[in-house]
Amino acid sequence: MKNLSNQLIQRFFTKKEIGGEISVNDLRDREFSGEKLSAEEKTALANYDAYRISVLNAQENDEDFHAAYRQLQVIANLGDWKEFLKEQYSNL
């Protein structure tokens, strides 16, 4: 039953159909599924990972850490992966 629900969600509620952008987590899903990523896509993933670690390491207490962690989850799930090709993320 759960598998059927997942298939329906993927079929009817894909990001493409609702106007969403391809996200960092979409790239990760593709990579984990064995699909080859382009050099740009791999760079974006590496830049996001470096950004994520720098943001989390900068937090001074548990509350701030968990708030930053949740924000990073939203970014990874909904943000456009191309954002992490920008130079500001390449120098972390």
The answer to whether the pTM exceeds 0.85 is no
Distance CA 40, CA 45 (A): 9
CB count in 10 Å sphere of residue 47: 22
The DSSP letter of residue 37 is P
pLDDT, residue 1, reads 45
* Confidence band, pLDDT 50/70/90 cuts, at residue 15: low
Distance CA 3, CA 86 (A): 38
Q: Which residue has the higher pLDDT, 68 or 8?
A: 68
The DSSP letter of residue 60 is -
Domain boundaries, the chain: 21-90
Over residues 15-40, mean pLDDT: 86
Question: Cα separations (Å) of 8 from 3, 5, 30, 64?
Answer: 9, 5, 19, 37
